[in-house]
A and B are shown apart, each in its own frame.
Chain A
Amino acid sequence: MIVYKGVSKTYSNITAVHDLNMEIQKGEFFGLLGPNGAGKTTIIRMTMALTPPTSGSIEIGGQKIRRDSTDIKQKFGIVPQYSNLENDLTAYENLEFHGRLYGLPKQLRRRRIDELLEFADLTSRKKDIARTFSGGMQRKLMIAKTLMHDPEIMLLDEPTVGLDATTRRKIWDFLRQLRENGLTIFMTTHYLEEAQALCERVGLIDEGNLIMLDTPEKIIQSAGQFVLDCYQNGKTTQKFFEDRESAIAAAEQTEGSFKVREANLEDAFIKLTNKDLGVRNEI
């Protein structure tokens, strides 16, 4: 559905994205995972023609997207990392504006607004100015706004960044519901547990390079199913094993404190990139 062919983006001397080749299938929940500054937002911005690739091409349904590709844009809904709500308008007016912008007829517009306010649990706040909403409510209103025109593909750039754990879980449920309704979802995140909990396939990106692309389970398997965390001399190191017995056997040879546990996506990311979200680890 979305095909990236040798896509690169360079700003001055900095390569934000390097030779990206990947394909997002229709109807899947795809996650792009990487630390801050990995190039995730640049990929989203290039997908929506907000910034042009330096080289390569992005095709959506076989067509290249441009700033004036109105027919392709009609299929997309995008939730950026930061609020893009009209802060001086009410929740209702924000949805109404979006509906008008996407050419929805009046009756459909009104019906969709009522449905989506209900879906986002914001009906009681519909006459309140968006500026007065909490971060979680703003994010839900942004997602509701994006759904106004019934898009086929939804792009979410770090949809839960800056939100507390409870609100994040609510947003997850909200996204799962959308997935059940058949929407194709392309999400970027630097929360590894978020990608593991929601995505059917995950692309790991670091310093503009796509390192691996597979299901979360296979990515974890590629690193090793079990992890031995060893804490010694003020430093935690990790070792990966195919089975628990091997991990325990290695632990018995270890000095200092240790813990054997099942590996997760974060462990795989650390092993594959040799970095945590800003914290270097010895492996």
Chain B
Amino acid sequence: MRFSSIIWKEWLVLKNKFISTTLGAIVGPLLFLVAFGWGLGNAVEIDGGSYIDFVIPGIIAMLTMTTSFNVVANDINISRVYSKTFEAVMIAPIKTAVFVLARVTASALRGLYGAALILVIALLFGANLHIDWYFVLVLILNCFVFSTAGIIAGIIVDSHADMAKITSFVITPMSFLSGTFFPLDRFPDFLRVIFELLPLTQAIIGLREGVSAAGSWIVPVALFGYLIVMLPISVILCRRAE
């Protein structure tokens, strides 16, 4: 009941701003696909394949990451620091863990809604995607991992201005260093190993290579590992948040 009430509220917020949210979720993917699909797609080849087929899984992972992260990170931060609606939930008879799980789920669902929109656009651009259960699983895990990261960021950052720094120093670098736009083997070995550990890298590998690739089980296990480490941290931080 408490879990579903949080999801219900997030759904209402989305419903009340449905058109602006949907348009906002489309603009980013459109720009990326125009630039990297039409702009570079036919002129560049990677590993013998077209660039558009290479870059679209990366763009999907990157944009679902930013949506899942930003929705909850900004909302938690604003509700803590400015609107004080965070307190309204903290004084309600709801366990902190239930609250965190509900917010993570709601934000991940927003990320998945964004992913569905991106997939439709990508298919319209002629992307050659193999969407199966593994693709969906990786996408879901990616959304949950970054929603949880968003909760942590929303709690530990004490002003909205500092939220922008998290984006500048964590999210944006990860977008460019996780193999979104070019293969990681272009980096020196020691950097490639570090970048391969990033959760976005794992999601991109999963979406790009699919279940049939050697060692494909590593991707969901790694993402799940991130999730089970970050979830308790976010609950503890939420419990201590003042």
CB distance from B11 to the nearest CB of A (A): 11
Q: Does B94 have its Cβ within 8 Å of any Cβ on chain A?
A: yes
Which residues of the other chain, B, contact A97 by a CB distance below 8 angstroms?
5, 8-9, 12
Cβ contact within 8 Å between A82 and B84: yes
Q: Does A249 have its Cβ within 8 Å of any Cβ on chain B?
A: no
Which residues of the other chain, B, contact A70 by a CB distance below 8 angstroms?
93-95
CB distance from B102 to the nearest CB of A (A): 10
Q: Mark B1-22, 1 if CB is under 8 A from A, else 0.
A: 1101110110011001100000
Selected contact of A68 from candidates B1, B13, B96, CB within 8 Å? B96
Cβ contact within 8 Å between A80 and B242: no
A68, B2: Cα distance in complex, Å: 13
CB distance from A39 to the nearest CB of B (A): 15
Instruction: For B89, give the chain A residue with the smallest CB separation.
Output: A101
Instruction: For B9, give the chain A residue with the smallest CB separation.
Output: A97
Cβ contact within 8 Å between A85 and B2: no
Cβ contact within 8 Å between B2 and A80: no
Q: Does A89 have its Cβ within 8 Å of any Cβ on chain B?
A: yes
Selected contact of B91 from candidates A78, A82, A88, A103, CB within 8 Å? A78
Q: Does A108 have its Cβ within 8 Å of any Cβ on chain B?
A: no
Q: Does A36 have its Cβ within 8 Å of any Cβ on chain B?
A: no
Q: Does A281 have its Cβ within 8 Å of any Cβ on chain B?
A: no
Cβ contact within 8 Å between B242 and A51: yes
Using A68-B239, A84-B85, A87-B83 as known contacts, say yes or no to A100 and B8 having CB atoms under 8 A apart: yes
Which residues of the other chain, B, contact A76 by a CB distance below 8 angstroms?
91
Cβ contact within 8 Å between A86 and B85: yes
Using A67-B239, A68-B239, A84-B85 as known contacts, say yes or no to A50 and B8 having CB atoms under 8 A apart: no
Selected contact of B93 from candidates A74, A80, A83, CB within 8 Å? A74
Using A50-B90, A73-B91 as known contacts, say yes or no to A103 and B83 having CB atoms under 8 A apart: no
Selected contact of A71 from candidates B13, B85, B91, B93, CB within 8 Å? B93
A49, B96: Cα distance in complex, Å: 12
Q: Does B92 have its Cβ within 8 Å of any Cβ on chain A?
A: yes
CB distance from A76 to the nearest CB of B (A): 7
A83, B85: Cα distance in complex, Å: 8
Cβ contact within 8 Å between B87 and A101: no
Cβ contact within 8 Å between A89 and B87: no
Q: Does A93 have its Cβ within 8 Å of any Cβ on chain B?
A: yes
B residues 6-43 in Cβ contact with A at 8 Å: 6, 8-9, 12-13, 16-17
Selected contact of A100 from candidates B4, B91, B242, CB within 8 Å? B4
Instruction: For A45, give the chain B residue with the smallest CB separation.
Output: B242
CB distance from A14 to the nearest CB of B (A): 15
CB distance from B17 to the nearest CB of A (A): 7
Q: Does A102 have its Cβ within 8 Å of any Cβ on chain B?
A: yes
Which residues of the other chain, B, contact A101 by a CB distance below 8 angstroms?
2, 5-6, 89, 92-94
Q: Does A48 have its Cβ within 8 Å of any Cβ on chain B?
A: yes
CB distance from A158 to the nearest CB of B (A): 13
Using A68-B95, A73-B93, A97-B5 as known contacts, say yes or no to A84 and B239 having CB atoms under 8 A apart: no
A86, B10: Cα distance in complex, Å: 11
Which residues of the other chain, A, contact B12 by a CB distance below 8 angstroms?
89, 93, 97
Cβ contact within 8 Å between A84 and B92: no
Q: Does B88 have its Cβ within 8 Å of any Cβ on chain A?
A: yes
Cβ contact within 8 Å between A88 and B94: no
Instruction: For B1, give the chain A residue with the smallest CB separation.
Output: A103
Interface residues of A (CB under 8 A from B): 45, 48-51, 67-68, 70-71, 73-74, 76, 78, 80, 82-89, 93, 97-98, 100-103, 129
List 10 tightest A-B contacts by C-beta distance, closest first: A100-B5, A70-B93, A73-B93, A84-B88, A74-B93, A84-B84, A101-B92, A51-B242, A48-B91, A101-B5
> Could you jot down 14 A-B contacts, CB within 8 Å?
A50-B242, A51-B242, A67-B239, A68-B95, A70-B95, A73-B92, A73-B93, A80-B84, A83-B83, A84-B85, A87-B83, A97-B9, A100-B9, A103-B93
In addition to A48-B91, A49-B91, 6 A-B residue pairs with Cβ atoms within 8 Å of each other are: A76-B91, A78-B91, A80-B88, A89-B16, A98-B92, A100-B9
